[in-house]
Amino acid sequence: MSDAGPDGNDEVGRLEDDERRLVLDRFDHDDAWRLGVLLTGLARERGAAVAVAIHHGPQRLFHCALPGTSADNDAWLDRKCRVVSRYAASSFLVGARFRAKGRTFEDASRLDPDRYAAHGGAFPLRVRGTGVVGAVAVSGLSQAEDHALVVEALERFLAQ
Protein backbone atom coordinates (compact mmCIF):
# COMPACT_ATOMS: atom_id res chain seq x y z
CA MET A 1 0.00 0.00 0.00
CA SER A 2 1.21 3.45 -0.77
CA ASP A 3 1.26 6.19 1.77
CA ALA A 4 -1.88 8.19 2.37
CA GLY A 5 -2.19 11.88 1.71
CA PRO A 6 -1.70 14.33 4.56
CA ASP A 7 -5.14 13.62 6.01
CA GLY A 8 -5.13 9.89 5.32
CA ASN A 9 -8.18 10.05 3.04
CA ASP A 10 -6.38 8.29 0.14
CA GLU A 11 -5.60 5.33 2.37
CA VAL A 12 -9.09 5.26 3.86
CA GLY A 13 -10.64 5.35 0.39
CA ARG A 14 -8.50 2.44 -0.85
CA LEU A 15 -9.31 0.37 2.21
CA GLU A 16 -13.04 1.11 1.89
CA ASP A 17 -12.87 0.05 -1.77
CA ASP A 18 -11.37 -3.29 -0.69
CA GLU A 19 -14.32 -3.84 1.63
CA ARG A 20 -16.90 -2.98 -1.02
CA ARG A 21 -15.26 -5.39 -3.48
CA LEU A 22 -14.66 -8.36 -1.21
CA VAL A 23 -18.18 -9.47 -0.37
CA LEU A 24 -19.14 -13.14 -0.21
CA ASP A 25 -22.33 -14.75 -1.44
CA ARG A 26 -22.23 -17.17 1.50
CA PHE A 27 -19.90 -18.32 4.27
CA ASP A 28 -19.99 -21.55 6.25
CA HIS A 29 -17.63 -23.99 7.98
CA ASP A 30 -16.45 -25.52 4.71
CA ASP A 31 -15.76 -22.06 3.27
CA ALA A 32 -13.71 -21.22 6.37
CA TRP A 33 -11.60 -24.33 5.82
CA ARG A 34 -11.04 -23.56 2.12
CA LEU A 35 -10.17 -19.90 2.80
CA GLY A 36 -7.88 -20.86 5.66
CA VAL A 37 -6.01 -23.44 3.59
CA LEU A 38 -5.68 -20.97 0.71
CA LEU A 39 -4.38 -18.23 3.00
CA THR A 40 -1.97 -20.55 4.78
CA GLY A 41 -0.74 -21.81 1.40
CA LEU A 42 0.01 -18.27 0.22
CA ALA A 43 1.95 -17.61 3.43
CA ARG A 44 3.92 -20.86 3.05
CA GLU A 45 4.80 -20.05 -0.58
CA ARG A 46 6.31 -16.78 0.64
CA GLY A 47 8.04 -18.23 3.67
CA ALA A 48 5.96 -15.91 5.86
CA ALA A 49 5.91 -16.73 9.56
CA VAL A 50 2.27 -15.93 10.29
CA ALA A 51 -0.65 -17.15 12.31
CA VAL A 52 -4.06 -17.29 10.64
CA ALA A 53 -7.52 -17.29 12.23
CA ILE A 54 -11.01 -17.34 10.80
CA HIS A 55 -14.04 -16.62 12.96
CA HIS A 56 -17.73 -17.02 12.23
CA GLY A 57 -19.44 -14.96 14.89
CA PRO A 58 -17.76 -15.81 18.20
CA GLN A 59 -16.59 -19.26 17.02
CA ARG A 60 -13.07 -19.79 15.67
CA LEU A 61 -13.47 -22.12 12.70
CA PHE A 62 -9.85 -22.12 11.51
CA HIS A 63 -6.46 -21.56 13.08
CA CYS A 64 -2.96 -22.23 11.85
CA ALA A 65 0.33 -21.06 13.30
CA LEU A 66 3.25 -21.47 10.92
CA PRO A 67 6.83 -22.01 12.11
CA GLY A 68 8.34 -18.84 13.54
CA THR A 69 5.15 -17.66 15.24
CA SER A 70 4.34 -17.60 18.94
CA ALA A 71 1.42 -17.18 21.30
CA ASP A 72 1.91 -13.43 20.87
CA ASN A 73 0.64 -13.78 17.30
CA ASP A 74 -2.50 -15.47 18.63
CA ALA A 75 -3.08 -12.56 20.99
CA TRP A 76 -2.71 -10.12 18.08
CA LEU A 77 -5.23 -12.16 16.06
CA ASP A 78 -7.75 -11.93 18.89
CA ARG A 79 -7.22 -8.19 19.39
CA LYS A 80 -7.58 -7.42 15.67
CA CYS A 81 -10.67 -9.63 15.31
CA ARG A 82 -12.33 -7.80 18.21
CA VAL A 83 -11.90 -4.56 16.26
CA VAL A 84 -13.57 -6.11 13.21
CA SER A 85 -16.41 -7.38 15.37
CA ARG A 86 -16.94 -4.02 17.07
CA TYR A 87 -16.62 -1.74 14.02
CA ALA A 88 -17.72 -4.08 11.16
CA ALA A 89 -14.63 -2.94 9.24
CA SER A 90 -11.08 -4.16 8.77
CA SER A 91 -8.70 -3.50 11.61
CA PHE A 92 -6.45 -1.58 9.19
CA LEU A 93 -9.34 0.62 8.01
CA VAL A 94 -10.39 1.40 11.59
CA GLY A 95 -6.84 2.49 12.45
CA ALA A 96 -6.61 4.54 9.22
CA ARG A 97 -9.85 6.36 10.01
CA PHE A 98 -8.48 7.42 13.40
CA ARG A 99 -5.16 8.48 11.82
CA ALA A 100 -7.01 10.49 9.14
CA LYS A 101 -8.56 12.52 11.97
CA GLY A 102 -5.12 13.12 13.51
CA ARG A 103 -5.79 10.74 16.41
CA THR A 104 -4.64 7.32 17.44
CA PHE A 105 -6.98 4.42 17.99
CA GLU A 106 -5.31 3.67 21.31
CA ASP A 107 -5.96 7.17 22.69
CA ALA A 108 -9.26 8.07 21.03
CA SER A 109 -11.24 4.81 21.03
CA ARG A 110 -11.26 4.51 24.82
CA LEU A 111 -11.00 0.72 24.38
CA ASP A 112 -8.55 -1.45 26.30
CA PRO A 113 -5.44 -1.83 24.09
CA ASP A 114 -4.83 -5.23 25.66
CA ARG A 115 -8.11 -6.38 24.07
CA TYR A 116 -8.37 -4.28 20.86
CA ALA A 117 -5.78 -3.51 18.17
CA ALA A 118 -6.58 -1.43 15.10
CA HIS A 119 -3.54 -2.75 13.25
CA GLY A 120 -3.72 -4.27 9.79
CA GLY A 121 -4.48 -7.93 9.36
CA ALA A 122 -8.11 -8.66 10.26
CA PHE A 123 -10.79 -8.30 7.61
CA PRO A 124 -14.57 -8.63 7.89
CA LEU A 125 -16.29 -11.60 6.28
CA ARG A 126 -19.25 -9.78 4.79
CA VAL A 127 -22.05 -11.80 3.18
CA ARG A 128 -24.21 -10.09 0.58
CA GLY A 129 -27.65 -9.36 2.02
CA THR A 130 -26.59 -10.34 5.55
CA GLY A 131 -23.64 -8.19 6.62
CA VAL A 132 -20.55 -9.06 8.62
CA VAL A 133 -20.64 -12.67 9.83
CA GLY A 134 -17.06 -13.03 11.00
CA ALA A 135 -13.43 -12.17 10.36
CA VAL A 136 -10.31 -13.55 8.73
CA ALA A 137 -7.01 -12.47 10.24
CA VAL A 138 -3.25 -12.76 9.84
CA SER A 139 -0.51 -11.82 12.31
CA GLY A 140 3.24 -11.92 11.84
CA LEU A 141 4.17 -9.39 9.16
CA SER A 142 3.95 -5.61 9.10
CA GLN A 143 0.37 -4.42 9.44
CA ALA A 144 0.22 -3.39 5.76
CA GLU A 145 1.59 -6.79 4.70
CA ASP A 146 -0.81 -8.67 7.00
CA HIS A 147 -3.70 -6.73 5.44
CA ALA A 148 -2.45 -7.25 1.87
CA LEU A 149 -2.10 -11.00 2.40
CA VAL A 150 -5.69 -11.29 3.64
CA VAL A 151 -6.98 -9.16 0.75
CA GLU A 152 -5.10 -11.29 -1.80
CA ALA A 153 -6.47 -14.49 -0.27
CA LEU A 154 -10.03 -13.14 -0.35
CA GLU A 155 -9.60 -12.05 -3.98
CA ARG A 156 -8.44 -15.54 -4.92
CA PHE A 157 -11.17 -17.19 -2.85
CA LEU A 158 -13.85 -15.12 -4.58
CA ALA A 159 -12.39 -15.95 -8.00
CA GLN A 160 -12.75 -19.71 -7.42
Model pTM greater than 0.85? yes
Query: CA geometry: angle at 13 spanning 111 and 15, to 5°?
Result: 60
Query: CA geometry: angle at 69 spanning 115 and 152, to 5°?
Result: 80
What's the pLDDT at 8? Answer: 59
Check if the beta carbon of residue 37 is closer than 8 Å to that of residue 61: no
What's the pLDDT at 6? Answer: 45
Q: What is the full per-residue pLDDT of the chain (160 aa) written as tens digits?
A: 333 444 457 999 999 999 999 999 999 999 999 999 999 999 999 999 999 999 999 999 999 999 999 999 999 999 999 999 999 999 999 999 999 999 999 999 999 999 999 999 999 999 999 999 999 999 999 999 999 999 999 999 999 9
Q: Which domains does the chain have, with CATH numbers?
A: 9-159 (3.30.450.150)
Check if the beta carbon of residue 122 is closer than 8 Å to that of residue 135: yes
What's the pLDDT at 2? Answer: 36
